[in-house]
Amino acid sequence: MTISKYEIFNTIVELGSLTKAAEKLHLTQSGVSYAISTLESELGFSLLKRNRSGVSLTSNGERILIFIQKILQQEELLQQEVISIKSLNTGTVRLGTLSSVSMQWLPGILSQFHEAYPLIEVKTYLGCYDEMSDWISNSTIDFGFVSLPTSKPFEVMPLKKDKLVVLLPPDHPLQHQKFISFKQLRGEHFIMPQWGSDDNIKRLLHENKVKLQVKYELMEERTIFAMVQMGLGISILPELILINIPEDIHIVELEKTDYRILGLASLSMKNISPAGKKFIACTRSWLREHNFLDFE
């Protein structure tokens, strides 16, 4: 049984005529007759009595009509809710975010998004690269900010080239250099960010065949700042992370410029909800307005 048959039946009862129902629904009269005939066959009893003056309900038809009308009312409510979701009046977005994105981008993006779509709820999940990968894979989140390329075959949308720079302690002998080579890094005690398998810093060092004296591996950027400041080693971090960094830490560019590519990843960009797609559009718009968007 289909909703269309219920609608045809209800319209016939409303208008008292198969012909008028066919005209209103833009169907042929034979098509209307066939729909009612198949509905009666599926139910196992007659719904309508046909006579010269039109049609009327059988006793069974009278009993069934009220239920069919309720189904049609619920169908209408369902369609209204679908339209509401598609027009982004309601919904939920589940977003995975990195600490640097949360500090630098997310407040502005969320403010702009909630102003435009106050009824859409945004749930945020803060994690490292590996956690983000797991959350996307098991659909805990709709999409998340990631470092590209990802180790898993997600659909991705690149957003920002985030330059990698060297952090030096106060009074470090290389502090006045404009650039630092990979050769100069080899003898240094190194504080390695521990962000997961998609870490661009580890990839950068591997590609350039640089083996460092890694003394510490840490996840939290503020701790890395403090340890560099105390002279416990140097580090390499993306520029986006360097917010409120201590003034006596020196930032020097790498001789061979490299970047962390920040983007969004999902199992399927095509299947993201309308609310999610609107959030992505808002994110790109905000990044463009603030000169962060490097990929159009």
| Residue 136 pLDDT exceeds 90 | yes
User: What's the CA gap between 159 and 166, in Å, rounded?
Assistant: 23
Question: Six-digit token pair at 8?
Answer: 């045809």
Instruction: Say which residue the tokens 């009269």 belong to.
Output: 29
Q: What is the pLDDT of residues 189-210, one digit of tens each?
A: 999 888 776 677 888 888 888 8
Helix (H) or strand (E) holding 23: helix 18-25
Mean pLDDT of the chain: 90
Choose between 61 and 79: higher pLDDT: 61
Q: What is the pLDDT of residues 32-46, one digit of tens each?
A: 999 999 999 999 999
| Mean pLDDT, residues 158-175 | 94
In this prediction, residue 262 carries a pLDDT of 95
| Residue 213 pLDDT exceeds 80 | yes
CA count, 13 A, side-chain hemisphere, 117: 25
Question: What amino acid occupies position 88?
Answer: L
User: What's the CA gap between 193 and 221, in Å, rounded?
Assistant: 8
Confidence of residue 123 (pLDDT cuts 50, 70, 90): very high
In this prediction, residue 187 carries a pLDDT of 81
Q: What is the pLDDT of residues 224-261, one digit of tens each?
A: 999 999 999 999 999 999 988 999 999 999 998 999 99
| Residue 283 pLDDT exceeds 90 | yes
| Residue 220 pLDDT exceeds 90 | no
The candidate with the shortest Cα–Cα distance to 90, out of 80, 100, 105, is 80
Confidence of residue 1 (pLDDT cuts 50, 70, 90): low
Q: What is the pLDDT of residues 39-65, one digit of tens each?
A: 999 999 999 998 877 789 999 999 999
Q: What percent of the chain has pLDDT over 70?
A: 97
- Residue 280 near residue 272, CB atoms below 8 Å: yes
Which domains are present in the chain?
Answer: 3-86 (1.10.10.10), 91-159+261-289 (3.40.190.10), 162-259 (3.40.190.10)
| Mean pLDDT, residues 122-145 | 93
| Mean pLDDT, residues 156-181 | 94
Which residues, including other chains, have CB under 8 Å from residue 198's CB and lie 6 or more apart? 129, 130, 133, 146, 147, 148, 149, 150, 151
Helices (H) and strands (E) in the chain, counts: 11, 12
| Mean pLDDT, residues 265-292 | 93
Q: Decide: pTM greater than 0.85.
A: no
- Residue 91 near residue 275, CB atoms below 8 Å: yes
- Residue 147 near residue 129, CB atoms below 8 Å: yes
Q: Name which of 65-79, 84-98, 154-168 the model is least confident about.
A: 84-98
Which residues, including other chains, have CB under 8 Å from residue 96's CB and lie 6 or more apart? 124, 125, 126, 127, 131, 132, 135, 136, 140, 141, 143, 144, 145
